Amino acid sequence: MRALSYLLITSMKNAFFQLVKKPVMLIVGIVFAGIMLMSMIFGGSRAGSVSLDLIRAGAFGLLGFIAYNTVSKGLKQGSTFFSMPDVNMIFTSPIRPQIVLMYGVIRQMGVSSMATLFMCFQIPNMRNLLHLKALGIFALISGWFFLLLVSQILSLCAYSLTAPYPERRRAGNIVMYGLIGLIALALIVYLAANGGQMKAVIDFFGLSAVSFFPVVGWINAYIFGLINGDIVSAVLFLLLTAFFPALCIALVRRTNSDYYEDVLQTTEMRYNMRQALKEGKAGAKNMNLRARTGKSGLMGKGRGASVFFYRHLTEQRRTGRLLLDFSSIIVIVIAAIGGIIFRNLTQSGQMKPIEMQIIAVSALSYTLYFMTMTGKFTQELNKPFLYMVPESAVLKLFYSNLSTVVKSLLEGAIAFSIIAALAGLPVWYIPLAAVLYATMSQMYISISILTQRIQGGANSKILGAFLYLICTGILVVPTAIIFGVLQAIFYFSNQNLLFISYLATIGYNLTISALVLFIGKGILKDANT
């Protein structure tokens, strides 16, 4: 263990000194810590009254989704706690595999802790919306940490115990989907017996029997046990949560000390993806997708610049995701949760429909800010074809972005339909909000092009992110102002004309995006700019 503790301690020590040596990183770190501290002390003055039962149901859904996603990925393609240097230097050294596995778990605890840090930003909301005290906040944050850690451990164990045996893998899938089917069936039966109202759904997740649903139910029971002051129950469910992964690890240790192969492929894949991302290689994000070749040939009839759009469609078809991807699922889930919260708030008279409309469009457009940077266009810029094809630069920019914009349109149509249906918003809102959302996607892409045009050959991620932020401020703030001012004017003059504020904002976005495309077309002059 001496070598492994040396490795962990030295890595941590060097990470700290790196932070001190690089002032930019240090400043970013201090700003980050400052924001987090400020948000803990001053953040969120608005007191709300989202019911704890609703949060319990929502938490069950969110925890369940993350656990399912992690464990099913583990069953399909494996999971790993390890890095490529671990494979090259630790797996081949005379250290016992059982000790190496423990090192992996400790390392994973560190990774989960970092992922939990971001939950601290939500402390003001936990305090003000849920009226949680210190113990309750601790419960939510620690519950999140346990879920991340336990689902990763289960994912690795599930793969390690089932990978070499197809029949075991089938059994693993049957158990996982059987459990999901069981809770779905129980929910349907409960709804049928209790009138099928939304309240019944919320009540269902408060039943003590649901607390015994493996891992997700236990962690939820731990969290809400602490929040409700039922410490004994919380501790018991925490022990159950800790015992189960420990049992799985013990099982792996006893039955499969030869687990290196089980993590090797995933580790290599993750390493290659990270390297490709670091080097800015195209398609890095798609490296771990399973692609089916299927029908040969590009979809559609694209020629010239439009061929980029059809190529993107063909690639999407091969990964079996049509135009929607994981980020779309996140947006749709956010929309569904938001729709339920909006409905409760309007029913209790705390929010007006117009506020909901504005918040929904603004919040989802805000999420696009983070998602557009990783779209198809960014990948396209790292391949030579966009520069080489003898077509108009503006058309090439347009078509290489089209799949992202169409994706946003589809995503928006689904998300705003859900919100409108749940919160009872007018039908005209759905297409207008979806188009506005799609034009916001085009705006962010245009800003990305502009940023790269300004940056030229300087390949600095920090400078790039800074310029992107500045350009977003300059170009998107007017979007918000136009939208906000027109909404206010029509709200007080004639509410039947509220749709004009959407049309005007869409018009502004399209005009600015087109202008930026013309300004930024020089980006395709050569691969260095």
Partner 1 sequence: MLIVSNLTKKYGSTLANENLNFSLDSGEMGVLLGPNGAGKSTAIKCIMGLLRFSGNIEINGLNNKSEAAKRIMGYVPEIPALYELLTVEEHAEFIIRAYRLNKSAEAYADELMVRLELDDKRKKLGKELSKGMQQKVSIMCALLPRPRMLLLDEPLVGLDPHAIKELKLILTGLRDKGTAIFVSTHMIDSVEGLWDKAFIMVNGHIVATRDRKTENAGEHGSLEDLFFSITEGRE
- Residue 160 CB, shortest distance to partner 1, in Å, is 12
Closer by beta carbon to partner 1, 87 or else 519: 87
Closest to 518 (Cα-Cα) out of 434, 397, 425, 358: 397
Cα Rg, the chain, nearest whole Å: 25
Closer by beta carbon to partner 1, 190 or else 259: 259
Residue from 54, 63, 90, 216 touching partner 1 (CB under 8 A): that is 90
Residue from 49, 93, 319, 392 touching partner 1 (CB under 8 A): that is 93
- Residue 219 CB, shortest distance to partner 1, in Å, is 31
How far apart, in whole angstroms, are the C-alpha atoms of residue 438 and residue 511? 14
How far apart, in whole angstroms, are the C-alpha atoms of residue 287 and residue 357? 38
How far apart, in whole angstroms, are the C-alpha atoms of residue 437 and residue 372? 12
How far apart, in whole angstroms, are the C-alpha atoms of residue 417 and residue 433? 10
How far apart, in whole angstroms, are the C-alpha atoms of residue 200 and residue 192? 9
Residue from 20, 32, 37, 96 touching partner 1 (CB under 8 A): that is 96
Closer by beta carbon to partner 1, 262 or else 315: 262
- Residue 206 CB, shortest distance to partner 1, in Å, is 45
Closest to 244 (Cα-Cα) out of 269, 273, 212, 206: 212
Interaction of residue 258 with partner 1, rule CB under 8 A: yes
- Residue 159 CB, shortest distance to partner 1, in Å, is 14
Q: Compose the 202-241 pattern: x for residues touching partner 1 by CB under 8 A, - for all others.
A: ----------------------------------------
How far apart, in whole angstroms, are the C-alpha atoms of residue 373 and residue 375? 6
3-state secondary structure of 195: coil
How far apart, in whole angstroms, are the C-alpha atoms of residue 32 and residue 30? 5
Side chain identity at residue 149, one-letter code: L
- Residues 451, 467: contact at Cβ < 8 Å? yes
Q: Which helix (H) or strand (E) holds 468?
A: helix 461-493
Q: How many helices (H) and strands (E) does the chain have?
A: 21, 0
- Residue 3 CB, shortest distance to partner 1, in Å, is 4
Closer by beta carbon to partner 1, 92 or else 495: 92
CA dist list (Å): 203 to 218, 333, 341, 343: 17, 20, 16, 17
Interaction of residue 92 with partner 1, rule CB under 8 A: yes
Q: Compose the 145-164 pattern: x for residues touching partner 1 by CB under 8 A, - for all others.
A: -------------------x
Closest to 332 (Cα-Cα) out of 445, 405, 413: 413
How far apart, in whole angstroms, are the C-alpha atoms of residue 245 and residue 218? 13
Q: Compose the 55-84 pattern: x for residues touching partner 1 by CB under 8 A, - for all others.
A: ----------------------------xx
Q: Which of residues 468-487 bind partner 1 (CB under 8 A)?
A: none
Residue from 113, 178, 212, 268 touching partner 1 (CB under 8 A): that is 268
Q: Compose the 2-21 pattern: x for residues touching partner 1 by CB under 8 A, - for all others.
A: xxx-xx--xxx-xx--x---
Count interface residues toward partner 1 (CB under 8 A): 31
Closer by beta carbon to partner 1, 92 or else 511: 92
Closer by beta carbon to partner 1, 256 or else 455: 256
Interaction of residue 22 with partner 1, rule CB under 8 A: no
Interaction of residue 490 with partner 1, rule CB under 8 A: no
Q: Which of residues 121-140 bind partner 1 (CB under 8 A)?
A: none
How far apart, in whole angstroms, are the C-alpha atoms of residue 23 and residue 483? 39
How far apart, in whole angstroms, are the C-alpha atoms of residue 212 and residue 171? 21
* Both structure tokens of 403: 């799949």
Residue from 264, 354, 359, 527 touching partner 1 (CB under 8 A): that is 264
Closer by beta carbon to partner 1, 89 or else 388: 89
DSSP state of 207: S
- Residue 161 CB, shortest distance to partner 1, in Å, is 14
Interaction of residue 88 with partner 1, rule CB under 8 A: yes
How far apart, in whole angstroms, are the C-alpha atoms of residue 439 and residue 431? 12
Side chain identity at residue 517, one-letter code: L
Closer by beta carbon to partner 1, 75 or else 226: 75
Interaction of residue 255 with partner 1, rule CB under 8 A: no
Selected range binding partner 1 among 194-202, 235-243, 264-272, 429-437, rule: CB under 8 A = 264-272
Interaction of residue 94 with partner 1, rule CB under 8 A: yes
- Residues 237, 208: contact at Cβ < 8 Å? no
Closer by beta carbon to partner 1, 166 or else 349: 166
Reported in sequence order, the residue ranges of 208-363 that DSSP labels E, i.e. its strands, are none
How far apart, in whole angstroms, are the C-alpha atoms of residue 66 and residue 80? 16
Residues making contact with partner 1 (CB under 8 A)? 2-4, 6-7, 10-12, 14-15, 18, 83-85, 87-96, 164, 258, 260-261, 264, 268, 271
